[in-house]
Amino acid sequence: MGIATLGLYSQAIILFAALALFTSFIMLAQARMMPLIFTFAWQGLLLAVVSVLVAIVSDHPHLYISAALTFTLKVVLIPWLLYRLSVQLNMQYDAEVIEHPTLLLLGGVALVIFSYYVAQSIVQLSGLATRNTIAVSIAIELLGMLLMCARKSAVAQVIGFMSMESGIFFAAVVSTYGMPLIVELGVAFDILVASILFGVFFFHLRDSFGSLDVVRFNRLSEANQPMPLRDAAGELSPGDHP
Amino acid sequence: MTLLDVTLLTPLLGGLLLALAGHRPIGGWINVAVGVVTFGASLAMALDVFAHGPRLSSGRMFYIDAFNVYLVVLTAFVGLTTSIFSRPYMRHEVERGRVTDRRLRLYHSMYQCFLFSMLLALSTNNLGILWVAMEAATLTTVLLVSLYRTPEAIEAAWKYFILCGVGIAQALFGTVLIYFAAENKLGGDRDDTLLWTVLHGAAGGLDPAVIALAFVFLLVGYGTKVGLVPLHNWLPDAHSEGPTPMSAVLSGLLLNVALYALVRVKMLVDASLHTNLAGHLMMGFGLLSFTVAGLFLHRQHDVKRMFSYSSIEHMGLITFGFGMGGPLATFAALLHMTVHSLTKSAIFITVGHACQLAGTQRIDHIRGLIRTQPAIGWGLLLGTVAIAGFPPFGVFISEFLLLMATMKSWPWLTIPLLLGFGVAFAGLFRHMQRMVFGEPPPGQKPVEANMLPVVVHLLLVLVLGLAIPGFLSRWFEQATVLISGASPL
């Protein structure tokens, strides 16, 4: 069964899913703050478009609501919130150093292959379009997680987190024509509250640590709990502060 | 209006009310009053379920059976006793200048919202709502962990937020997969395929490959909130940096609720797979958590951190018990859930007072508690004795039953279990002795402490250890039959 045998709408769904996956890769390698936020918004837009397409193909009108939710949250509200915060925190021109970008992207490729491998086990259940889109949604989720692990800026971590959420939402849309409405509303509400809380935290983090670089958040590691006496001495010895 | 409505709506409305009045002196009392009403309603509901069997609400949104109703009562009870403790404790924190009026209001409001989200997670019949409520439980507590606004507290809250957020996102994916399997079996044109009762009825026909994949995601997701090693990193930080009443409810209740979600899902998965995959995974993670946390107990310098590792250890043990399945192990795990909640929240309450007394959380600086204030000293000592699994306390009974069950079905696993008990015991007592006995530092003065919750909790644990009341054991038995399909008695 080739792609050409599918209907036009199904082909479009696969195309937009692939583009959404592509944006995940762009985010993985995008070091600058503003383009990162905009790429995230693009991904949201692509996923909203897929939701609308699936709604047309499958005749599930409540998917329009979930498309509207995705659009409001992922394209308008969260990117706007992040944009405003980075302006307020005066970091809109910041760029972080990505270590080993090639390895990172190769790791992303490996994750996509792994997602297809995982999706293999459930292919018997559904058609070609679903088979591809489920694999893509798992890949978007895992790439979001990789983004969170690989980056050191709190903003990038939030974007990775939201991208994971997008991937799951996408999985729900393409595999089951969306979750029941009440669940979708609940999830959207949780994400909304989470994004506001993230904003609050950015200010707290900056006030406490002077930056949003998560490498500095190391006060609470298990290996780093010296006895109080050594604590005081450690602050005096110059060797500890290179 | 049913009893369930009262149980759920009281904390929600209480949370809204406290958002307006939580900073006033009466705020603490409102908190207690809300707790009393919630506990009363939940108890009445429990008796109703006990007499008439499982209840499905109209519209099938909520489902109450023997398994979750006992956790609802436990949650409401510990919520109530902790609110009694929290009133003088938070007043003392305000006097010390660690908490402002605005934050006190936030604290009181979020305390009740947190209880609401846990009760919702326990009573809902919809796996999707279960997820939403679990995430809401994270969101309501994350600002409480950072309540003191110290760099450490902010870092702990950030870790908690990110790790639990990522973890629980996996659980959402697992939920989507379960929904996918159910739609394939039951057809996509009905809107009740995510209801637990519907799923449980149809579990035998769900596609095993999808369900197995879903369980892995759900185990990682909810396992993060249970605090299973290696996903436990958030737990000691969040427990040690937040205000102590929060540590008590996080440790005593939230971990239980997350484990409840996991066990509910396991019931579905077992019915679908007809293999022991879910059980074996849970046993592995449980045993790993139990062992690793026991070892980590030895190198702690912060008393709240130490007891949060003890929580990981016990949650590991309970997960191991549920994973082993079988009537005896399930009964023991249910009992252990109860006694651990009661004991651990009592310990955290005492530790809170001890830290206010000594002015620090560092174990090396807490000395001579019994000399300065015998109630706190003895409370901490007895609580630790109970949690370490000494007879005649209830923890001993549940651990003993669990050991027996292990000996029956996995004899060679009793060796790591017994070693683990020993290691954990040594880890707790090497620190405890110096804190409780010893010479108090000069100038250490008693603080205002309300030991009533501690006394009640420890007495309950003692009663459960000496003789489980008949109606309670029948109750546990009903829950055991629900989960494992057979009676232990």
The answer to whether the beta carbons of residues A161 and A144 sit under 8 Å apart is: yes
pLDDT tens across B140-165, in order?
Answer: 999 889 898 888 888 899 989 999 98
Which range among B201-205, B395-399, B485-489 shows the weakest confidence by mean pLDDT? Answer: B485-489
Q: Is A107 exposed, middle or buried (0-12, 13-18, 19+ CB in 10 A)?
A: middle
| Inter-chain residue contact A201 with B157, CB threshold 8 Å | yes
Alpha-carbon distance of B431 to A167, in angstroms, equals: 47
pLDDT tens across B234-253, in order?
Answer: 999 998 888 999 999 999 89
Q: Which residue has the tokens 């016990």?
A: B314
Highest mean pLDDT pick, A68-77, B52-61, B436-445 = A68-77
**Lookup: tokens for B451:** 């030991």
B308: confidence class by pLDDT, cuts 50, 70, 90: very high
**Lookup: tokens for B421:** 């008990």
Chain A residues within an 8 Å CB radius of B161: 194, 197-198, 201
According to DSSP, the residues that pair with B62 across neighbouring strands are: B124
According to DSSP, the residues that pair with A32 across neighbouring strands are: A95
- On the question of pLDDT at A127 being above 80, the answer is no
Q: Is A106 exposed, middle or buried (0-12, 13-18, 19+ CB in 10 A)?
A: exposed
Helices (H), A59-153: 62-70, 78-88, 101-120, 128-150
**What is the model's pLDDT at position B351?**
92
**Lookup: tokens for B370:** 């019994």
Q: What's the average model confidence in pLDDT over B454-479?
A: 89
Radius of gyration, alpha carbons of chain A: 21
Nearest-CA distance from B242 to chain A in Å? 13
Nearest CA in chain A to B184: A125
Question: Which one has a higher pLDDT value, B410 or A120?
Answer: B410
**What is the model's pLDDT at position A223?**
57
Q: Is residue B380 part of a domain?
A: yes
What is the maximum alpha-carbon separation in chain A? 74
Question: Which one has a higher pLDDT value, B339 or A238?
Answer: B339
Which range among A212-221, B267-276, B409-418 shows the weakest confidence by mean pLDDT? Answer: A212-221
Nearest-CA distance from B224 to chain A in Å? 15
Instruction: List, as one string, the DSSP characters of B359-421.
Output: T--BGGG---HHHH-HHHHHHHHHHHHHHTT-TTSHHHHHHHHHHHHHHHH-GGGHHHHHHHH
| Inter-chain residue contact A220 with B159, CB threshold 8 Å | yes
Indicate the DSSP class of residue A3: G
Alpha-carbon distance of A215 to A154, in angstroms, equals: 10
Which range among A32-46, B51-65, B313-327, B390-404 shows the weakest confidence by mean pLDDT? Answer: B51-65
Q: What's the average model confidence in pLDDT over B90-112?
A: 89
Number of domains in chain B: 1
Alpha-carbon distance of B315 to B337, in angstroms, equals: 8
Question: Which of B227, B205, B233 minimizes the C-alpha distance to B286?
Answer: B227
Q: Which of B152, B159, B180 sits opposite A176 (nearest CB)?
A: B180
Phi, psi dihedral angles at B124 (to 5 degrees): -70, 155
Alpha-carbon distance of A30 to A37, in angstroms, equals: 10
Alpha-carbon distance of B218 to B231, in angstroms, equals: 13
Q: Which of B158, B209, B240 sits opposite A205 (nearest CB)?
A: B158
**What is the model's pLDDT at position B360?**
86
Q: Is residue B374 part of a domain?
A: yes
Q: What's the average model confidence in pLDDT over B54-81?
A: 89
**What is the model's pLDDT at position A58?**
79
User: Does the N-terminal peptide bond of residue B230 adopt cis geometry, omega within 30 degrees of 0?
Assistant: yes
- On the question of pLDDT at B342 being above 60, the answer is yes
Alpha-carbon distance of A8 to B254, in angstroms, equals: 48
The answer to whether the beta carbons of residues B101 and B470 sit under 8 Å apart is: no
- Residue B411's domain spans which residues? 285-489
**What is the model's pLDDT at position A239?**
34
Q: Is the dihedral of CA B323, B327, B328, B333 positive or negative?
A: positive
Nearest CA in chain B to A155: B162
Alpha-carbon distance of A169 to A95, in angstroms, equals: 29
Q: Is residue B37 part of a domain?
A: no
If you average pLDDT over every residue of chain A, what do you get?
A: 82
Q: Most B CBs within 10 Å: which of A163, A177, A179, as the mutation test of the B interface?
A: A179
With a pLDDT cut of 70, the percent of chain A lying above it is 86
Q: How many CB atoms lie within 10 A of CB B344?
A: 29
**What is the model's pLDDT at position B49?**
86
Alpha-carbon distance of A229 to B305, in angstroms, equals: 19
The answer to whether the beta carbons of residues B428 and B387 sit under 8 Å apart is: yes
Angle, CA of B77, B89 and B335, to the nearest 5°: 30
B203: confidence class by pLDDT, cuts 50, 70, 90: confident
Helix B303-324 / helix B327-358 crossing angle, nearest 10 deg: 170
User: Kind and range of the H or E element at B63?
Assistant: strand B63-64
Q: Which of A121, A205, A209 sits opposite B213 (nearest CB)?
A: A121
- On the question of pLDDT at B260 being above 50, the answer is yes
Q: Is residue B210 part of a domain?
A: no
CA count, 13 A, side-chain hemisphere, B269: 31
**What is the model's pLDDT at position A241?**
36
- On the question of pLDDT at A224 being above 60, the answer is no
Nearest-CA distance from B64 to chain A in Å? 20
**What is the model's pLDDT at position A123?**
62
B57: confidence class by pLDDT, cuts 50, 70, 90: confident
Question: Which one has a higher pLDDT value, B24 or B125?
Answer: B125
Q: Most B CBs within 10 Å: which of A58, A115, A152, A208, as the mutation test of the B interface?
A: A208
Q: Which residue has the tokens 């329009």?
A: A64
Q: Is residue B214 part of a domain?
A: no
pLDDT tens across B403-456, in order?
Answer: 999 999 999 999 999 999 999 999 998 888 888 888 888 888 888 888 899 999
B258: confidence class by pLDDT, cuts 50, 70, 90: very high
Alpha-carbon distance of B64 to A16, in angstroms, equals: 43
- CB-based burial, B288-310: b 16+ in 10 Å, e otherwise: bbbbbbbebbeebbbbbbbbbbb
Alpha-carbon distance of A223 to B307, in angstroms, equals: 18
| Inter-chain residue contact B149 with A204, CB threshold 8 Å | yes
Do you know the residue count of chain B? 489
A14: confidence class by pLDDT, cuts 50, 70, 90: confident
The answer to whether the beta carbons of residues A209 and B152 sit under 8 Å apart is: no
ipTM metric: 0.87
Torsion angle defined by CA atoms of residues B192, B198, B200 and B204, in that order, rounded to the nearest 10 degrees: -100
Highest mean pLDDT pick, A43-47, B52-56, B201-205 = A43-47
**Lookup: tokens for B51:** 């007499």
Which range among A121-130, A146-155, B12-21 shows the weakest confidence by mean pLDDT? Answer: A121-130
**What is the model's pLDDT at position B2?**
83
**What is the model's pLDDT at position A225?**
52
